[in-house]
Chain A
Amino acid sequence: MNSVVNFARKPEPPAIAPTDPLGGPHETISVTSTTPATTPAQSMTVKGLAAKAALVRYIPPLLGYLGLIAVWALAAQHASYLPGPVKTWHTAVMLFSDPFYIKGPNDVGVGWLLLNSLKRVAQGFGLAIAVGVPLGFLIGRFLFLNRAMSSVIGLLRPVSPLAWLPIGLAVFKAADPSAIFVIFITSIWPMVMNTALGVASVPQDYLNVARVLRLSEWKVFTKILFPATLPFMMTGMRLGLSTAWLVIVAAEMLTGGIGIGFWIWDEWNNLNMEHIIIAIFIVGVVGMLLEQGMNLIARRLDYRTA
């Protein structure tokens, strides 16, 4: 009985508002900033409102970063091997003052390290797009292929990316292609799966329109399937790129060569902790920028937000 009463009293779930598929944080601002405008006692100018919105937008993340640095500084005081923020900052300034020097095969500027890592990711990721998107389309369009590939994907997807490295090394007999292969095999799954999902969830109504018009397969693809699937594809690419960037550090640690990952390992052997911390920041910032860039592109290409 009790459960029945509870059930009856259960509050109505809030109406689901159409949400930004890419989860933009900007929507919360307008709500908070317009509230005071409705009360005449605290009426603000538009400029004031904008300033307040900016404050609400930027203060919390800034406090977050400050908190991180504070924790780091505190930890550094209690651990002799960990350099503090100030010391690391001075090293970073020196490091970034000349990012593109080449003093030998294993001694190049931090800019080159980063560019090399980005190049590997771009190659592996690009290859994954070239294979993953068409494969996703086929899987989404043909049920037989869907069933055939689902089992294969289900088996291969949970495998740790680095487990593929020996296979890559055996096949390519070189470090660089193996690292690219690892990136490829890591980032392809979310693209295949999201594209297939997108194709499978094209509304039947749109396909009925195509049937009534008797559109050619090519027109169906360019006018209906592709635009309808694009947002899903972009989600797949976003996920694929983040995992690719996540994996490149580990892959480079194992394969060596010039790159931000191997640099971390190298500096560990040199016991240069400042450089390791700087590398962590670089990897974080670049990853964040990649994510933001993909978000921007996705937003541009999405018919719901364009």
Chain B
Amino acid sequence: MSTLVDINHVSMAFTAKGQMFNALENVNIQIAAGEFVSLIGHSGCGKSTVLNLVAGLLLPTQGGVLFKDREIDGPGPERAVVFQNHSLLPWLTVFENVHLAVERVFAATESKTQLAVRTREVIDLVGLGHASSKYPGELSGGMKQRVGIARALAMQPQVLLLDEPFGALDALTRTHLQDELLRITRDSGNTVLMVTHDVNEAVLLSDRVVMMTNGPGATVGEILHVDLPRPRQRMELLENPRYVHLRGEVLRFLHHGHAQAA
């Protein structure tokens, strides 16, 4: 498979209160087309920074991030982001929020009816057809995040970037949305980069789990290949010794050696 995203010797420094802070140091990750990669690590280790670099919201201080062999110099709809806190515009309905993205990407080539159909389809895909005229304020946290996913999917991105998409949700809603994401990515064959701190989520969804060391100067610690066959079923995996082993590997990495300084 060809490399779609190439994070190549990337270092990232921030200036905070007049002091340089090295967030990332020499990070190398290659993501193949159609692959689902998770970034896991303790909070503050810079995993969201990696995602923002791929999104183009940040530019690296050293090294480069390549998308289809071209250096990323800014954000773009071919790299859609699902933000941690959904980031829906509260003055627009669910339909209008998604339509904003659809319109941006397809207005040049499609008619108004086609745009509306497209919007409706993707809202149906995340199971919110009944709520498309509601405002974000009227939705539950899980529903809001579904809209966030719908908005990202609506752009038909070549890579989907998920920044702790389910971090703010309760456990039940989270498992439900994980299953749904599993279904959607299976059907669409999307390339996905997901930031998470949930070990189960990472192993269940990913082809590879990139484990990051703690900052400052965080980098890739280990990369775990999740060789569980797809389609995966959460309930069947619970007893699967391979799944249990892989989960243990991630936990071991996070717990030993890279435990957060208390």
Contacts and interface: CB of A to CB of B under 8 A. Distances in A.
Interface of A: 203, 205-206, 208-209, 211-215, 219, 223-224, 227-228, 303-304
A223 B92 contact: yes
B57 A209 contact: no
Contacts of B89: 206, 209, 223-224, 227
Contact of A205 (B79, B83, B100): B83
B92 A211 contact: no
19 contacts: A206-B87, A208-B83, A211-B75, A212-B55, A212-B79, A212-B80, A213-B100, A213-B104, A213-B155, A214-B75, A214-B76, A214-B77, A219-B104, A223-B89, A223-B92, A224-B89, A228-B91, A303-B135, A304-B137
Nearest to A216: B104
A213 B91 contact: no
B90 A304 contact: yes
Contacts of A215: 100, 104
Contacts of B90: 303-304
B92 A212 contact: no
Given A223-B89, A304-B90, A208 B81 contact: yes
A209 B75 CA distance: 10
Contact of A212 (B75, B91, B137): B75
Nearest to B155: A213
B87 A213 contact: no
Nearest to A208: B57
Contacts of A203: 87
Contacts of B74: 211
Contacts of A209: 83, 87, 89
B100 A223 contact: yes
Contacts of B135: 303
Given A212-B57, A223-B92, A205 B77 contact: no
Interface in B64-118: 74-77, 79-81, 83, 85, 87, 89-92, 100-101, 104
Nearest to B90: A303
Interface in B139-178: 155
Given A211-B74, A213-B100, A304-B137, 4 more contacts: A208-B57, A212-B55, A212-B81, A303-B91
Return the 8 tightest CB-CB contacts between A and B, nearest first. Answer: A303-B91, A205-B87, A227-B91, A211-B75, A212-B75, A213-B104, A212-B81, A303-B90
B153 to A, nearest CB: 13
A124 to B, nearest CB: 30
B85 A205 contact: yes
Contacts of B77: 212-214
Contacts of A219: 100, 104
Residue of A212, A215, A224, A304 contacting most chain B CB atoms (<10 Å): A212
A211 B104 CA distance: 12
A122 B89 CA distance: 33
Residue of A213, A215, A223, A227 contacting most chain B CB atoms (<10 Å): A213
Nearest to B148: A209
A122 B83 CA distance: 44
Interface in B22-77: 55-57, 74-77
Contacts of A214: 75-77, 104
B87 A208 contact: yes
Contacts of B91: 227-228, 303
A25 B56 CA distance: 46
A303 to B, nearest CB: 4
A304 B137 CA distance: 8
A304 B101 CA distance: 23
B106 to A, nearest CB: 12
A243 B96 CA distance: 38
B226 to A, nearest CB: 28
B100 A211 contact: no
Nearest to B135: A303
Given A223-B92, A303-B90, A303-B91, A213 B85 contact: no
Contacts of A208: 57, 75, 81, 83, 87
Nearest to A230: B91
A304 B83 CA distance: 21
A227 B137 CA distance: 15
A299 B5 CA distance: 47
A24 B237 CA distance: 53
